[in-house]
Amino acid sequence: MSDESGTVVAVSRNDAFTFTKPNRDEIVLVAGLGVEGDVHAGVNVRHRSRVRADPAQPNLRQVHLIQAELFAEVAEKGFDVPAGGLGENVTTRGLDLLALSPGTILRFGARDSESGGGSDGPGVGSGGPGGGSGGPGGGSGGNGGPGVGSGGNSGPGGGGDFESSGGGSGGNSEAGGGGDGKAGGGGDGKSGGGGDGKSGGGGGRAALAGVLAAAEAATLDEATARAAAAVAAAAGRDGGDDPRPAIVLAGLRNPCVQIDRFRSGLLKEVLGRDAGGDVVRRAGVMAVVLRGGVIRPGDPVVAEPPPGSPVPLERV
């Protein structure tokens, strides 16, 4: 697999709180919010375990991606896992998602083509309902990102980590919930930031204003604070001139016991420890939407890493 590019093989979305997500012909990304019509879209946390712990936490899990190579690997051990089966929105092939750094920008579609979502791509569709949290997002646009580094306390957001539970994790840490999934950080209350509410234009800081403001206002544990800082830095790097749909990687999905309920014995294939005793999570990565637009199977995806040496993803 490459750490530079790959291909989208499936896209999935669900407006109900179920573990799996059905495949779609296309999905629409909405800047600062997530996948249009998906239950996990929103400025603040949407996964139910996170909502119960602290509903004010920023939603760094707007889009879930898994590499199809994982499904091929577990199939050799007898596990039939289709695209969308583990609840991911985007299934890719050829790109080693787990090896990327937090703050990596993934852009979808051909740059010189209108397919894959240009700056005038489909709108959000939800219209007016998103206004609730528009106001707080404005303050983070003018600088290099909010002061999200409030680590040092244990804070909420762990969702039943492997480290603390000694095996799986919380009972339903991956089944979404809470919040209204509509609130935006943008000027018009429709999307999470972009100047036209459709594509997230106007630069990364504007697009992610709501999420970054939520991160600044919340008490974050150390891993979440580092993830939020990486997202803020990526937003600062983006000038808004690339029309392709784009997301920013925040961290790793924290696998939970629901994976075993879906396929008995599968959890141990995606959650374990390496030779040094460190936890290894392989159930995909989580991201926030930097620029909106349409993603379809067959679209290319390219990775733009942050400057400096690679940094391992942590759970978010």
Per-residue pLDDT reduced to its tens digit, 72-117: 999 999 999 999 999 999 999 999 999 999 999 999 999 864 444 4
Is the residue at 278 inside a domain?
yes
C-beta of residue 210 within 8 angstroms of C-beta of residue 42: no
Which class for 236: exposed (0-12), middle (13-18), buried (19 or more C-beta within 10 A)?
middle
Is the residue at 316 inside a domain?
no
Residue with the bigger pLDDT between 136 and 93: it is: 93
- Over residues 142-190, the pLDDT tens digits come to 333 334 433 333 333 333 333 333 333 333 333 333 334 333 333 333 3
Is the residue at 311 inside a domain?
no
Rounded distance, CA 316 to CA 53, Å?
14
Position 62 scores a pLDDT of 97
pLDDT higher than threshold 60 for residue 51: no
Residue with the bigger pLDDT between 189 and 240: it is: 240
pTM score of the predicted model: 0.75
Rounded distance, CA 119 to CA 183, Å?
22
Return the percentage of the chain with pLDDT > 70, whole number. Answer: 69
Is the residue at 203 inside a domain?
yes
Residue with the bigger pLDDT between 152 and 250: it is: 250
Position 204 scores a pLDDT of 84
User: How many domains, the chain?
Assistant: 1
Position 50 scores a pLDDT of 63
Give the domain CATH number at 160. Answer: 2.40.33.20
pLDDT higher than threshold 70 for residue 130: no
Q: Rounded mean pLDDT of 291-299?
A: 99
Range of the domain at 71: 5-304
Task: Choose among 300, 291, 305, 303: nearest CA to 242.
Answer: 291
Question: How many residues comprise the chain?
Answer: 316
Residue with the bigger pLDDT between 253 and 127: it is: 253
Is the residue at 312 inside a domain?
no
Q: Rounded mean pLDDT of 2-8?
A: 96
Lowest-pLDDT range of 39-43, 94-98, 118-122, 248-252 = 118-122
Is the residue at 309 inside a domain?
no
Position 44 scores a pLDDT of 93
Beta-bridge partners for 240: none
pLDDT higher than threshold 50 for residue 58: yes
Is the residue at 272 inside a domain?
yes
Is the residue at 156 inside a domain?
yes
pLDDT higher than threshold 70 for residue 220: yes
